[in-house]
Amino acid sequence: MNEQTSPTTEPKVTWLLPVHNGQPFLEKCLESIANQEYTNSEILALDDGSTDATLAILSEWIPGNIPGRIIHRECKGLGHSLAELVQECPTELCAIMNHDDISAADRLQKQVAFMLSRPEIAVVGTFMYLIDADGRQVATMDSEQRVTFAVVTGPTDPDDVLHALFVENPLCHPSIMFRRSAVLSAGNYASHPAGGFDHYTFFEDYDLWIRMAAQFKLANIPEPLVYYRRTPDSITARTAGEGLLRSKTNESVRRSIKATFGIEPESAIALRDRRKLFALPCILRIAETLGRSGTAAATVKQRLRMRSFTNMSRRIVRRLDIGTRMTLAYFEDGPVGIKKELTALSADVREFIQMLFAARSQR
């Protein structure tokens, strides 16, 4: 039976931690959980058939230093592990944690405060600092040539998150807090055949967010509250290197896109790949479907005037799709937008003609 709490009290939060062979970085992860300023929490850790010292490390920390319990079983894969953790979780608020990442000490405090103040939000993520294998923050150069720390960002407003969701995953899974009842209502994480953590990706969450967006609002806190470890052997790096990113996200699109965005999966994939010769009918259909949603009500005209919706639309429109480009420009900026788009289109047409002549001269 799940814990019931009053909105005026500090609700208990459960950390959900799936692990497979997490020995190298697991201690730092658990230390960051133990050092949280928000103390009304417990942990539910699942050792998914580890062959290293993962179970021993978990046992050193749980429940002695961190209240909670450990589930240990054979390897079944990430989707199955996350779904099982949600099913077993005793609280309504759940915080996701990756075994190789670190949470800022005020992460839970700020996410709980956000969820209490925004009861309409079912899922909230945060921005994230990037760290390397040694835990050092990754440095980058800003627009003014100043050295700063790399931060993974994303849209924050629920409408902006929803629009971005059509073309990418706008939520950082290691930073997520969600309401358990909402996740279960949307069908929970998808379980796929076990393949070990070598086949773990971030697609289980993207699949879930698409399904949840049909019923609930999703958001981000515009502050980095997680230190996200990127190494050459990380799942994200391997997935990108193996060229699996597009094919795996397309699997999620085929399973879940129609209920939320109202268009057929193959049309959605063609849009995402910018293969639709004339994208406007699909874009209008998306706007109409979202407008009927209880989570993002707006007329088609109102949505076409939303900056994040037109930005998303521009990412799926072919450069020579003149009708769609002009329509988006008009709703975004009126006559001024049309003038700007005509200038840009002229440059695109000139470039296209030059490419044709170059191709012909090579024959």
Could you tell me if 237 and 308 lie in one domain? no
Distance CA 177, CA 89 (A): 13
Indicate if 291 and 248 belong to the same structural domain: no
Looking at the fold, whether 135 and 150 belong to one and the same domain comes out as yes
111-168: pLDDT as tens digits: 999 999 999 999 999 999 999 999 999 988 766 677 788 999 999 999 999 999 999 9
Count up the domains in the chain and report the number. 2
pLDDT score, position 192: 59
Could you tell me the residue range of the domain that residue 17 belongs to? 13-257
Instruction: Note the Cα 180 to chain centre separation in Å.
Output: 17
- 126 and 34 fall within a common domain: yes
pLDDT at 21 over 90: yes
31-63 per-position pLDDT tens digit? 999 999 999 999 999 999 999 999 999 999 999
Own/partner contacts of 278-282, CB < 8 Å, gap of 24 or more, are 278/321, 278/323, 278/324, 279/313, 279/316, 279/317, 279/318, 279/321, 279/324, 280/321, 280/323, 280/324, 280/327
4 in a structural domain = no
Virtual torsion, Cα 259, 78, 182, 213, nearest 10 deg = -30
45 in a structural domain: yes
Residue 229 belongs to a domain with what CATH number? 3.90.550.10
Q: Domain boundary at 191, 225, 257, which?
A: 257
Residues 154 and 227 in one domain: yes
> What six digits make up the tokens of 174?
């290691």
Q: Give the chain's mean pLDDT.
A: 89
pLDDT of 297: 78
**Which residue, of 257, 283, 304, is where some domain finishes?**
257
Both 113 and 190 in one domain: the answer is yes
**Are 157 and 219 spatial neighbours (Cβ–Cβ below 8 Å)?**
yes
Beta bridge partners of 58: none
Same domain? For 190 and 326 the reply is no
Nearest to 122 by CA among 174, 79, 162, 169: 162
Angle between helices 203-212 and 245-261 (to 10 degrees): 10
293-318 pLDDT, tens digit per residue, is: 877 778 999 999 999 999 999 999 99
Domain check: are 52 and 185 in the same one? yes
Q: Which of 233, 257, 281 is the last residue of a domain?
A: 257
